A and B are shown apart, each in its own frame.
Chain A
Amino acid sequence: MAKVLMKGNEAIGEAAVLAGCRYYFGYPITPQSELPAYLAKRLPEVDGVFVQAESEVAAINMVYGAGSAGARVMTSSSSPGISLKQEGISYIAGAEVPCLIVNVMRGGPGLGNIAPAQSDYWQSTRGGGHGDYRTIVLAPNSVQEMADMTITGFDLSDRFRNPVLLLSDGVLGQMMEPVNLPEPNDYDINSKKWALGYRGNDKNERNLCSSIFLDNDELEEHNWHLYQKYQVITDLFSKGEYKDFAVEEHLCDDAEIILVGYGIISRILKTVVEKCRKRGIKAGLIRPKVLWPFPTAVFERLAKTASQFLVVEMSCGQMVEDVKLSVDGKKPVFFFGRTGGTVPSDFEILNEVDKLVRPD
């Protein structure tokens, strides 16, 4: 298939269709509105269902319903809308229903503004709603990855019966880059034997999707069951088949200072690394592509060789805490952030690097 120049938001929509997703429920909010607009047009072409819900709360609960009935289903929003969805995400995680949730992050707290931000890292990687649960969090940094990770996200969510969050930001959502779209995947709605409405001959008992366990022992058993599932997922990303998928390393082997960033920031950091190298500064880049489970191992390994780390985020410092946990005090971890919708320039980051490597 030839490359297509697409917006990030549109690439997610097309990739979802190609992944067999036929159900979208959402509510308008900037800067993700191109995605519902794309699917409102595209889904009817493939006999799919697009519903503009009355709220993000309703939308995520429609996702819960469709997911529990066996659909490949998605919703999308931007930060304030994702806050509203947290109730539903908690139920979906508790009932172990697969779905894909896209957050095209904007600035907060509150209404904040519509400009790009990365200030929902904590909300995304710590569950987000009430209760002891996790969502798998994927962090693309290009329009191509917006498409690729949409497909990976559906696969992971079905495999683990767990919600997957695609964590993007306003720049990635709005920008256009060439995309190679994959071949379409035929998804069979009757492939999930646990789903409501499944009618295979092997169905003996009725199916139930629920997150209520009123008995203490039953809930504790369910909580540990979820925890064990999260351990399996963590292993898969730290040493299993998704090990290489989870993190990108760039010129780290001999690096004295390692820059750390995800999403759009990682692209800017790559330019900073190039500029550093031209100036004789041995800089490298770690880009977590998966934010939960966090790629801890790469930091443990590189903390032995690098002298220091500089984490750059469009927030006041959120992922930096996971980096510090991973580096575990072995090397200093510094932070540089811009917020309010300002994307830091390569020059100001380079200036920060200068201050660290040439403190005089």
Chain B
Amino acid sequence: MTLAVKAAGVHKRLGSTHALAGVSLDLGDGITGLLGPNGAGKTTLMRVLATVLAPDSGSVRLLGHDPADREARPVIRRRLGYMPQEPGFHQRFTAFEFVDYVAILKEMTARRERHDEVRRVLDLVGLGDVAQQRIKALSGGMRRRVALAQALLGDPRLVILDEPTAGLDPEQRLRFRELISRLAQDRSVLISTHQTEDVAALCHHVVVLRDGETVFAGAPRELAEVARDRVWLADERSAGAELSWLTGDGRHRHVGNAPPAHAELVEPTLEDGYLLLVGRGSLAVAA
């Protein structure tokens, strides 16, 4: 079976910044979470995979095609859904008009069927009732759902969502998780996010980027395992911990190699593993 994404040694410079420094990635069906701190190269990688940016070097194959090939690029794009990190909107358009406009650019020409498809995706993201409202009248969360709706047009085989849950309230995030988990049954979905709980709840596969390089690729539980035997709860703050914070129950959670005195070893989470990879102790762990 053809992998949805197969990237090897991808480099991309943006000005003087080496945004991607040899990223390799293989994605099949299911949901992949892309984690990383600000400036790690997540959005640049998403833009490369969305065929918006061309890599400086390295190879990328999307849905079995090379996006550098001008003939193949539209073939890829017809089967690609993309939600940018900062999706712009035509404020004077209604939600329906905007998604309809995008549908035309996705080559859906038969008017009646196109409108049916627009209604379908708007219903899917829960915006059927406000489809005829102007986008400028919608809340930030609703606008992100409009952006998500357009990414779902035409039943794409590869869906790339750059921080789709930013600005969504908890209920909307849960609805989003439900929707995406249904979507991913027969396609490949790549989600870039800062929300480790979304990754833990949704993703079959996690990739962590740091400084333009892949520092982890595996299952979510494997990411949690990175922090195995390195997470403690204690009553006192420890100066030796890589990361330490006061939890809601009044105890300090320590992540790192140096346990404080009388600390209690606890089960690591995906977030602990991620913090160890990209946090202050990342160099030691990565080595």
Q: Do A and B bind each other?
A: no
* A→B interface (CB under 8 Å): none
